[in-house]
């Protein structure tokens, strides 16, 4: 019975890892659709190589920093529990690799290929694992300090802070450091927008991310007995709500301040100027 349970858990987390891995295709197509045509190849290659560099950095350094676990062991040790620990590494790797993917979208068309890969290695090998180890790995005494101060430990089920906030913080710092795209602002101070190069690619990337999102959230249970339908439906409603708000906000952006047509029930209708 234990053998079946171990095999089921390994399969469960493997499916989650594959779903989150597919999200990187979503990152690629989303960025591909937003950059100019001349930079499409660079955007695709960057996402692919970022994942490759992330894998090496996380395997040899990052996973050890976060959890104190290294893979320099015998085959029998690594294959224990149907190789669950190896599959768990694969699953958490896809989370770690999402950090440079998030940053990549924020600094699209503003960073050289080589330095960005070096930054990816540092982020996935050292910076992100410090946050991951502190919150998920129970290392460095951070959880103990939080629990002793507040009475409860910090809980982050699917990486709201550990992955997304950390990626956003690093992306914000990178944007501030690199500044706007070339020719983003005209000499008179006006903004010169770069239209998306491919709306279909942009939409495809968003859809792939939406599908993979269920792997990111639901599979964070890591074992099949902890899976939650509540998490799945929450993820669905968040996606649907975000889509509807984006459509409403987008309609307003296309109109001038004096002709914007907001729904009568909208809570923050802007005053005409």
Q: What is the pLDDT along the chain (273 residues), one digit of tens a residue?
A: 677 878 888 888 999 899 999 999 999 998 888 888 888 888 888 889 999 999 999 999 999 999 988 887 766 766 776 778 889 999 999 999 999 999 998 888 888 889 999 999 999 999 999 999 999 988 888 898 998 988 898 988 888 899 999 999 999 999 998 887 777 777 776 777 777 788 889 889 988 998 888 888 888 888 887 888 888 898 889 888 988 888 888 765 555 444 444 455 444 444 444
Question: Model-level pTM greater than 0.85?
Answer: no
> To which H or E segment does residue 92 belong?
helix 80-106
The pLDDT score that the predictor gives to residue 71 is 80
Question: Domain map of the chain by residue range?
Answer: 2-227, 228-273
d(CA 52, CA 250): 36
The pLDDT score that the predictor gives to residue 126 is 95
In 3D space, the residue among 201, 42, 178, 209 whose CA is nearest the CA of residue 107 turns out to be 178
The pLDDT score that the predictor gives to residue 44 is 87
DSSP string, 143-200: HHHHHHHHSS----SS-IIIIIIHHHHHHHHHHHHH-SPTTSB-TTS-B-----S-HH
Task: Judge contact between 100 and 123, C-beta under 8 A.
Answer: yes
d(CA 126, CA 120): 10
Which distant-in-sequence residues (6+ apart) come within 8 Å of 69 by Cβ? 63, 85
The pLDDT score that the predictor gives to residue 261 is 47
- Measured between its terminal Cα atoms, the distance across the chain in Å is 70
The pLDDT score that the predictor gives to residue 89 is 92
* CATH topology for the 2-227 domain: Ammonium transporter fold (1.10.3430)
The pLDDT score that the predictor gives to residue 65 is 93
CA geometry: angle 55, 232, 138, nearest 5 deg = 50
The pLDDT score that the predictor gives to residue 74 is 67
**Dihedrals phi, psi of 130, to nearest 5 degrees:** -65, -45
In 3D space, the residue among 184, 216, 13, 14 whose CA is nearest the CA of residue 101 turns out to be 216
């Amino acid at each position: 019975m234990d053998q079946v349970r171990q095999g089921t858990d390994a399969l469960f987390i493997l499916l989650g890892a594959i779903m989150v891995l597919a999200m990187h295709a979503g990152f690629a197509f989303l960025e591909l659709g937003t950059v100019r045509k001349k930079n499409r190849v660079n955007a695709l290659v960057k996402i692919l190589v970022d994942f490759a560099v992330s894998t090496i950095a996380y395997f040899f350094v990052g996973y050890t920093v976060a959890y104190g676990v290294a893979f320099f062991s015998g085959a029998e040790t690594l294959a224990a529990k149907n190789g669950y620990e190896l599959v768990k590494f694969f699953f958490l790797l896809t989370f770690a690799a999402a950090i440079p993917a998030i940053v990549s979208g924020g600094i699209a068309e503003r960073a050289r290929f080589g330095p960005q890969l070096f930054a990816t290695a540092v982020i996935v090998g050292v910076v992100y694992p410090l946050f991951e180890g502190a919150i998920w790995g129970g290392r460095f005494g951070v959880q103990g300090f939080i629990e002793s101060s507040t009475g409860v430990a910090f809980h982050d089920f699917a990486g709201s802070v550990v992955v997304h906030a950390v990626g956003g913080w690093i992306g914000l710092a990178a944007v501030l450091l690199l500044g706007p795209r070339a020719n983003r602002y005209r000499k008179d101070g006006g903004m010169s927008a770069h239209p998306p190069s491919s709306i279909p690619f942009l939409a495809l990337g968003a859809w792939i991310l939406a599908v993979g999102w269920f792997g990111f959230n639901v599979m964070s249970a890591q074992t099949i007995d902890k899976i939650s339908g509540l998490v799945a439906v929450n993820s669905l409603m968040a996606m649907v709500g975000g889509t509807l708000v984006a459509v409403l906000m987008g309609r307003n952006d296309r109109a001038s301040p004096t002709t914007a047509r907001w729904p009568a029930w909208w809570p923050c209708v802007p005053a005409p100027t």
